[in-house]
Amino acid sequence: MKTFQPQPGFVVQAYQFALDPNVTQEAALRSHCGAARAAYNWAVGWVTAAWWQRKAEESYGIPEAELTPWRPWSLPALRKTFNEVKKTDPRFADWWQENSKEAYNTGLANAAAAFDNYAKSNNGKRKGARMGMPRRKSKHHARLACRFTTGTIRVEPDRRHVTLPRLGTIRTHEKTRKLQRRIVNGTARVLSATVRHDRGRWFVSFQVEVKRETTKVARCDVTVGVDLGVKVLAVMADSAGEIRYIPNPAHYDSALKVIKRLSRRVCRRQGPDRRTGQKPSKRWLKANAERTRIHHRVANLRADALHKLTTTIGSEYGTVVMEDLNVAGMLKNRRLARRIADAGFGEIRRQLTYKSEWNRYRTVVASRWYPSSKTCSNCGAVKAKLPLHIRVFRCDGLDCGLVMDRDENAARNLAALAAACSTGTGVAGDLGTRVPKPRGADQKTRTTRQARKDPAGRAGGAKPTHSRTETRDLHQDTTTQLGLW
């Protein structure tokens, strides 16, 4: 899809409003979201059919030149083919005219992005975990969402209604004065609108190009290091010597007792069962809606607290230093996963990153391998080990003897990292400082040599073992154009 580049002085941000559709409008919303899912499933099936056909033909010994040609997955190609088959395909012929073309374009665009991400991940051009092949979306589990980029997309002057293509004018649950006032003044332009169903409610999000005045930070020459945690959400240590502790609101833990009680109530009532065709009872729907409201409230409280925290940090300091935390790996710890997810480490970093363009402050991300907690903020000595249950840092240096809270020490090191990166002094916090690795841990993957032994147990010649990066490169050289088989 088209990527919008904001003009100088403009930023692209979102305005979200809850909707109050009537019965007819809600049915139309579900129809559009279902059309997007159907177009996505068609694109996945159309592209992968050629892949499996080629694999079957290769098993029969058919030469490469005679194999079924690859089917393109770009958005223009998918859109062109879909427009040709939608009038004759029995899956769409009877009802495709009931929805806006933007609904089908949403599904095709999502499919094109999914295939592109899969190809890049399979070829080593995409960071993160290896992605699998795109799969069909289930009717019962897929999130209902649809995006509109053309047509009548308007915020009504009464500030209580929005107009969308083919859906008409829908009443909003809250006033839209924040966006409508900017549109009237000529400081905002709506680019697209996305409707989605989340936690039992319908929402509309407008992607808007907004003229935003750059806000100067209060202390542009002060650097702050932000160390995130579970017991204390954030410990901030700035270059001026000020230390601030931000307690963790723990919204989910506060509501956990009520959620458990409501969950037991839902389980005791007759719920839906797709295997037997059993319909949920009215008492189950009522109890489930009450539980959903609690989850929705917790999510809103968390989002409000994180926005207030990041806005406060971004409006005060000129340089913000954060950690590159492996949140996905941290969530695998079953003892801390719930509290880590409730804290929202990744959301804090995301908000600080995009808000830096609004207030023009600098963000520095420390390396994931930088030992901020193990390094003494006073003398620079680095501990070999520092278990997580030890919350007080005690320096092992003979002439230091620093005793400090573990998180405060890490925040001080992060604050010093910004100056070390710019000056390259080699002191504690510099990326070039060499630290001991007692367990041999390193972010680099090396080529190792493993000694071979004969059946008698005598050491023989060395057998080279390829590193992960080398193995991936060798795999790319031996695979086909898409790296699939």
Residue with tokens 């992605």: 131
Catalytic residue among 209, 316, 323, 408: 323
Q: Tell me how far apart the terminal alpha carbons of the chain are, to the nearest angstrom.
A: 29
Return the half-sphere exposure (C-beta side, CA atoms, 13 A cut-off) of residue 2: 9
Distance CA 431, CA 454 (A): 45
Phi, psi of 4 (to 5 degrees): -90, 130
Distance CA 377, CA 307 (A): 29
Q: Do 135 and 44 touch, CB atoms closer than 8 A?
A: yes
Q: Which of 228, 231, 265, 461 lies closest to 352 in space, CA to CA?
A: 228
Q: Do 155 and 206 touch, CB atoms closer than 8 A?
A: yes
Distance CA 291, CA 271 (A): 14
Residue with tokens 């949140």: 327
Burial bucket for residue 359 (CB in 10 Å: 0-12, 13-18, 19+)? buried
| 168-171 and 232-238 strand pairing | unpaired
Catalytic residue among 209, 238, 316, 407: 407
Residue with tokens 């406060």: 312
Catalytic residue among 102, 209, 227, 408: 227
Distance CA 148, CA 145 (A): 10
Residue 475 in 3-state DSSP?
helix
Q: What are the CA-CA distances from residue 443 to residues 367, 421, 427, 440 (Å)?
A: 10, 19, 21, 10
Q: Do 184 and 29 touch, CB atoms closer than 8 A?
A: no
Catalytic-residue membership of 323: yes
Distance CA 462, CA 7 (A): 60
Residue with tokens 């966006």: 179
Paired tokens of 33: 């979201």
Catalytic-residue membership of 227: yes
**75-85 and 23-59 are packed helices; what angle lies between their axes, rounded to 10 degrees?**
100
Residue 77 in 3-state DSSP?
helix
Q: Do 330 and 388 touch, CB atoms closer than 8 A?
A: no
Residue 180 host element (H or E): helix 177-185
Catalytic residue set: 227, 323, 407
